[in-house]
Amino acid sequence: MRILITGGTGFIGTNLAIHYRSQGHAVAVLSTEATEVEKENARDLRSAGVATILGSVTEKRIIEEACAGADLVHHIAAAMREANMPDRSFWQVNVDATRQFLEIARSREVKRFVYCSSIGAMGKSPRKPANEETPCQPEDIYQVTKKAAEDLCLSFQKEHRFPLSIVRPADVYGPRDRRLLKLFRAIKSGKFAMIGSGRNEHHMVYIDDLVQGMVLAGQVGDAIGEVFILAGESAITINQLAEIVARALGVPPPRIRIPLFPVQAAAVVTEMICKPLGIQPPLYPRRVDFFRSDYVFDVSKAKRVLGYAPQNDVADGVNKTKAWYEERGLL
C-alpha cells in the first residue's frame, strides 16, 4: 500500500510513518523541516526508508504530486497556536487547505482518507466523560478552525461518498514528544511547582496506542463517515502524573504548590503586554490551562467500531518516554 502523511516530520506523523514503513508499506511524508526537531525527525524517517517531500499543504501543485498513486492519506498537518499568527492563517491552513486537499485526493482516487483533528475541537473542559456526541464548544481560533475542518470533512464525505474518517487524539505523549519533556526536566531538577490543587484530570494517550487507532481508522469499513476519540483507558490527575514522573526519575514527588488565581491573573497580564509587541510571552493563559482544565473521555465507540485497544497505562508510557529522552541525551 502507498501511504501519504502530511505533517510527517511532527511528533505524531513521524511515529505513524515509521510504523507503516515497518509493516512494509511505501510511505511518503509531506512536511517542513523548519525546526531542529523536524530536521531530526526527518533524519529518522529517511533512515527508516520513508520518502520526504518538502512543502506546505497550501501548495496545490505539491499536493497533486504527493497524492498521485496514494492509496491512503493521513492528513495531520495543521496551524498550531503560535505567537503573532493571524486568524486568517489558521483558516487558510486548517480549513481552506483541507478543502483543497480533499478535492485533490478525490480526483486522484485516494481509497481512504483519515483527518487528524484534536480534542481541542470540543473546546475547554467538556462534560466528563465526553464522547463523540458531546456538543463541541470551541473557543480559541485553533479550536474553532479544527472544528470547522471536521464539519467540512463530514460534509464532503456525505456529498461525495468519499471514504473518510476523523480521529480526535487526546493528550499525546511518548518518544519524540517535546512538550512533556519540560515536565520531566522540572521534576528532575526539583523546580516543578504545582499550580492549584492538581486535582484536575487529563486524559492522555501513549503514541503507540494512538498510532494503533489511526491505522484502524484507515482500515475498518464501518469507520467511514465517523469521528473517533482516541485516548488511553483512563484519565489521571495532574498530582498523579507528577508522582508517576517523579517515580520514573527516581526523585521525590514535587512538594511546591502555588495558588492558581494569582498565576492566572499574571498570565493574562503578561500576554496582554507581550502580544502587541510580537513577543512570545513566557507565561500565558493557555499554559496555565494545564493546571486547571479537565479532560476525561469515553473511548467505547473507538473500541466497538475500530477494535481499538490501548495497551499502555500512564506509568508504562512514562517509563518508555523517559528511556527515549535519556537515549537522546535530553534528560
Distance CA 230, CA 234 (A): 11
Instruction: Take residue 322 and report the three cell numbers written for it.
Output: 523517559
Give residue-wise pLDDT tens across range 133-145.
999 999 889 999 9
Residue 272 has pLDDT above 90, yes or no: no
- End-to-end C-alpha distance for the chain, whole angstroms: 38
Give residue-wise pLDDT tens across range 306-325.
999 999 999 999 999 999 99
Give residue-wise pLDDT tens across range 60-79.
999 999 999 999 999 999 98
Residue 271 has pLDDT above 80, yes or no: no
Q: Are strands 112-116 and 193-195 parallel, antiparallel or unpaired?
A: unpaired
Percentage of the chain modeled with pLDDT above 70: 98
**Which position has the grid cell 511518503?**
28
Q: Tell me the average pLDDT of the chain.
A: 92
- Grade residue 83 by pLDDT with cuts at 50, 70 and 90: low
- CB of 5 closer than 8 Å to CB of 113: no
The whole-model pTM stands at: 0.93
Per-residue pLDDT, averaged over 170-182, amounts to 94
Instruction: Take residue 188 and report the three cell numbers written for it.
Output: 528532575
Distance CA 311, CA 36 (A): 31
- Grade residue 277 by pLDDT with cuts at 50, 70 and 90: low
Residue 252 has pLDDT above 70, yes or no: yes
Residues 6+ apart with CB under 8 A from 65: 53
Per DSSP, the residues of 126-140 read PSSSB-TTSPPB--S
Distance CA 176, CA 210 (A): 14
What is the Cα gyration radius of the chain? 20
For domain 2-176+204-232+296-311, give its CATH number from 3.30.470.10, 3.40.50.720, 3.40.50.300, 3.40.50.2300: 3.40.50.720
Amino acid at 295: Y
Distance CA 78, CA 72 (A): 18
Amino acid at 115: Y
3-state helix, strand, coil in the chain (%, to 5): 50, 15, 35
Amino acid at 329: G
Distance CA 61, CA 253 (A): 52
**Which position has the grid cell 472544528?**
147
- CB of 43 closer than 8 Å to CB of 176: no
Q: The dihedral of CA 91, 96, 97, 99: what is its sign?
A: positive
pLDDT at 60: 92
pLDDT at 128: 85
Distance CA 47, CA 21 (A): 11
Distance CA 38, CA 298 (A): 32
Extended strands (E) in 23-132: 26-31, 51-54, 72-75, 112-116
CB neighbour burial string for 187-216, b if at least 16 within 10 angstroms, e if fewer: bbeeebebbbebebbbbbbbbbbbbbbbbb
pLDDT at 241: 97
